[in-house]
Amino acid sequence: MAESVYKVVELVGASSESWEKAAAAALKQASKSLRDLRVAEVSALDIALDEGKIASYRAKIKVSFKYDSKEQALHDPLLERVIRAARCCA
């Protein structure tokens, strides 16, 4: 069996209807720019409140995708934003 390497990014999806739809929204957006998605793991669920009422359901997910090479990954728009955000807040 050939060895493989996978990259994991963390995303947060939101929905006014449910946690399931919040996770689906994050995956739908990720699939637009990340290739070869493999696994998504829900790592946290929370609710945003507005004046004591539910404003949105939020799902934090970890998404893995096959990591072909550093060159390809660095040209991915979503991954570039994730890397910039991590550098800015580290």
Domain boundaries, the chain: 6-89
- Cα separation, 1 vs 24, in Å, equals 32
**Residue 88 pLDDT > 80, yes or no?**
no
**pLDDT, tens digit (0-9, with 9 covering 90-100), for 32-42:** 888 888 889 99
Cβ(64)–Cβ(10) below 8 Å = no
Higher-confidence residue of 40 and 82: namely 40
The pLDDT of residue 84 is 64
- pLDDT score of 76 more than 70: no
CATH architecture of 6-89: 2-Layer Sandwich (3.30)
Say whether pLDDT at 90 is over 50. no
* Biggest alpha carbon–alpha carbon distance for the chain: 55
Token pair belonging to 61: 């997910």
pTM score, two decimals? Answer: 0.69
Q: Which residues contact 54 (CB under 8 A, 6 or more apart)?
A: 47, 48
Q: If we measure between CA atoms, which residue out of 60, 69, 87, 75 comes closest to residue 7?
A: 69
